[in-house]
Amino acid sequence: MIIKGNKELKDHYHKLCSGDMFIGTISSNHMKSFMLIDLLERNVNCLPSPLSQILNSSKAAQALILRDWMLPHTCVIRRRTDLVETINTYNKNGIGAVVSKENHLHCGYGVRRWDTIETLYSFTAMSESSYPFVVQPFMENFTDIRVIIVEDYIEAYSRYNPNNFRMNISAGGSSHPYELEKEQKEFCYAIMKRSRFPFAHIDLMITENGNKYLSEIALNGGIKGASISREELDKKKQDLLEKLAKKLIKD
């Protein structure tokens, strides 16, 4: 049985068994992880992969699993103890301003800058609901790049906002086409391989000395600076999922 879309998944959920397939992303944020684990345990194939769907909806999960591609000293703060330990690490390494990323907010709305990590601690100490979140050093000068990848289709553009450190175009930024270097492409494909993303919208930070770091990754995202249309991009994604599904069935 091949299930496409959330309505069909809901209708046939308890009938699915080993070898069946679900093509689509689970829309229920509160139940997503439980459903994906259940489908995995029942050997139901999922496209996009369960791992990519979990990472897509959680910045904390991304920082946990994809930390090696991110800025040094990027941490997942799960509880107060983690933050206290990170204070020690940041102070030991002379890190001043920091950025926190709220777990489920998008479009830059959950990104906040703090003058010191102690300021961040003072704010979060009064609210257990703040956890989990991501904290990393604040990077002053870098080029913000959005990369869109669907199989062999790859497009990139830079984003810039002189009035806001959040470079998102939705926050008032502008964009310009960007030519990725070979190593930057390989960097993106390596991230996708580790996180099992069949296609991706990847945000990169390119420093003045050419170092590259992952900011975040998503299965879907804004394309205001891209030349491809939403309709064309969605078709490429769906065609790839159908292609992967046929390969799984054949194997």
Reported as a single tens digit per residue, the pLDDT across 226-237 is 999 999 999 999
For residue 171, pLDDT beyond 70: no
**Domain match, 226 and 169 both:** yes
What confidence category does residue 30 fall into, taking pLDDT thresholds of 50, 70 and 90? confident
Model-wide pTM > 0.75: yes
Does one domain contain both 38 and 124? no
148 shares a domain with 233: yes
At 34 the three-state DSSP class reads helix
Cβ atoms within 10 Å of 19's Cβ, excluding its own: 12
Whether residue 208 is contained in a domain is answered as: yes
Contact (Cβ atoms closer than 8 angstroms) between residue 245 and residue 49: no
- Segment 110-144, tens digit of pLDDT: 899 999 999 999 988 777 778 999 999 999 889 99
Whether 114 and 181 share a structural domain: no
Confirm if 2 and 20 have CB atoms less than 8 A apart.
Answer: yes
What pLDDT was estimated at residue 251?
A: 67
Are 153 and 104 in the same domain? no
Count other C-beta atoms under 10 Å from residue 241's C-beta.
17
Are 140 and 207 a contacting pair, CB within 8 Å? no
User: Which position has the token pair 């209708």?
Assistant: 11
**Is residue 178 domain-shared with residue 91, that is, in the same domain?**
no
Range of the domain at 150: 142-240
Same domain, 129 and 148: no
Of 127, 138, 137, the C-alpha closest to 90 is 137
Query: Which residue has 């086409």 as its token pair?
Result: 177
- Does 178 share its domain with 209? yes
Residue type, 42: R
Same domain for 146 and 220, yes or no, is yes
Same domain, 43 and 23: yes
- Classify residue 248: in a domain, yes or no: no
Render pLDDT for 34-71 as a digit per residue (tens, 0 to 9).
Answer: 999 999 999 999 999 999 999 999 999 999 999 999 99
Tell me, what CATH number does 80's domain have?
3.30.1490.20
Q: Which residues contact 73 (CB under 8 A, 6 or more apart)?
A: 86, 89, 90, 93, 95, 136, 137
Q: What is the rounded distance in angstroms from the CA atom of residue 39 to the CA atom of residue 18?
A: 9
Q: How many domains does the chain have?
A: 3
Residue 249 included in any domain:
no
What is the residue-averaged pLDDT of the chain?
Answer: 92
* Residue 97 domain flag: yes
What is d(CA 188, CA 147) in angstroms, rounded to the nearest whole number? Answer: 8
Cis ω for the linkage preceding 72 (within 30 of 0): no
66 in a domain, yes or no?
no
Say whether both 178 and 212 belong to one domain.
Answer: yes
- Any domain includes 247: no
Q: Is 172 left (phi over 0), alpha (psi -120 to 50) or beta?
A: left
Residue 79 belongs to a domain: yes
Q: Which residue has the higher pLDDT, 174 or 117?
A: 117
